[in-house]
Chain A
């Protein structure tokens, strides 16, 4: 009874904590409330274990060792990670969460697997769902994490016949999972389903390109939440069901938002193929002339502007240039230039990633403008400074018949002038030419994001003393 009240209190804390996330001012307190809830649930569970009295001495050792090892690894990873590497760490934590949820179901099947015996459908159905979703998420998140880290190729890996393999694995999962759900499947079926789920998670994420990562990570997060809720059904634990459902809902919403921001259906992302990774190639824009600009020219434009909108993209994150851009912005601000940042919803590698990077560099969050908020401001901006962003600034999205048609974009081309810092004329993920670059009012500054920004800062300093 007391334990159940403890779980209820924990669940309340989770909801309150998530609720406080709706403003940067209260978000940190929200997270702490959530931690308090988790500690409460932990204490309640520990009390339950002691009270049960059936926990063997070895089990206590195993339990403590597991917690110490896991907590230590988590703490270490969380404290050393760089903000640019955040998505792969979150993805890794997501993987182990899904794995733990699946193990709970596996253990339950083992415990009741007696020859000829069967689980009641009430337990067997969530067991099947838990194993399938949890294991697919586990291997899928590991691959996603590897792709983000660059260990696994970020290019969509296209294996001939991959689709047939996927369909086959999917059928095994549905068939085996369905059989498990009837409660008659024992350990052999469980083993087959687990192996198929491991393979399916990998083959599902491998063909997905880097640009679609924000969608994939959100989706996997939603899946883990669901798997945890299913684990809650298996062991009749309210805490797991409520928390799992909350996370499932949050992941679902983020997935939808991200997919909308890229104008892609969730299904087409999962099926894969479109995102092809940043090509460093020297593909020139066909026919149209590109105006290259020099550091000094760009610096004069910036120094004598009254309003500058900075458009950061993944190139900024990859070059770790968030501090360099902040330095340039601070210099301009000290000269009375009105500076703000236009952040596209899918800038970076996970939802909201760019905002975290800018916050790390001490950019006040009031200066980070969302797409709908900042688009009307572009016509009033003297200079739009695009740093490492590509497809999200391409005016071609407004016309029909291009690869990115209909994708919501930042109206950079409506600014009075545009400076683009970019390493080469290479394509973005969509693999098409960016018409912004051939616009007569656009100057291309060919440089690495960090080097370019640093050069601009010192040029502005020399120019205006």
Chain B
């Protein structure tokens, strides 16, 4: 077993443990934003897609590179924007004074 693989495996296992530890504390109220935020984080695959360009050559390589970056960029940008939109609704606010019927409230990002 090469040292590189060993290093990668250690990183993988330790990150899993950190993930379990950090996420088990999140309350149910925030599960949707959590999932959406985690969803955006795996958009880090964009970095891998970009690195394809280092060796990409020829039509097939370019096509794969394009598809992968487009997919990944959609994942990362959309994921973060939608999470932020959701979380903006969880801000602290007075319980009573709010006027109802604000359906028309514009979106924000």
Contact = CB atoms under 8 A, between A and B. Distances in A.
Interface of A: 7, 10-11, 14-15, 17-19, 21-25, 27-28, 30-32, 34-35, 38, 41-42, 44-46, 48-49, 52, 54-56, 58-60, 62-63, 65-71, 73-75, 77-81, 83, 86, 89-90, 93-94, 96-97, 99-101, 103-104, 106-107, 110-111, 122, 217-218, 221, 224-225, 228-229, 231-233, 235-254, 257, 323, 326-327, 330-331, 333-334, 343, 345, 348, 350-353, 355-356, 359-360, 362, 364-368, 370
Contact of A63 (B19, B50, B90): B50
Given A34-B40, A362-B93, A67 B34 contact: no
Interface in B70-100: 70-96, 98, 100
A49 B54 contact: yes
Contacts of A355: 28-32
B70 A28 contact: no
Contact of B51 (A49, A96, A101): A49
10 contacts: A71-B73, A78-B109, A99-B68, A100-B72, A104-B48, A236-B4, A242-B11, A242-B12, A250-B19, A348-B32
Nearest to A345: B28
A70 B51 contact: no
What is the interface of chain B mostly: helix, strand, loop, or mixed?
helix
A74 B95 contact: no
Nearest to B70: A70
A379 B91 CA distance: 31
Contacts of B101: 323, 327
Given A48-B51, A228-B45, A75 B35 contact: no
Contact of A38 (B36, B44, B81, B86): B44
A250 B92 contact: no
Contacts of B96: 330, 333-334
Contacts of A225: 38, 42
A102 to B, nearest CB: 9
Contacts of A366: 95
Which 8 A/B pairs are nearest by Cβ-Cβ distance? A249-B19, A74-B78, A352-B31, A70-B73, A66-B69, A245-B15, A351-B31, A70-B70
Contacts of B39: 90, 93-94, 97, 221, 224, 247
B5, B13, B24, B86 pick with most chain A CB within 10 angstroms = B86
Given A15-B18, A69-B73, 8 more contacts: A17-B41, A49-B50, A54-B54, A74-B79, A75-B78, A100-B71, A104-B49, A242-B15
Nearest to A18: B22
A244 B22 CA distance: 15
A321 B34 CA distance: 24
Contacts of A74: 73-79, 81
A67 B73 contact: yes
Contacts of B61: 107, 110-111
A302 to B, nearest CB: 16
B44 A41 contact: yes
A238 B51 CA distance: 13
Given A27-B33, A58-B62, A352-B30, A79 B109 contact: yes
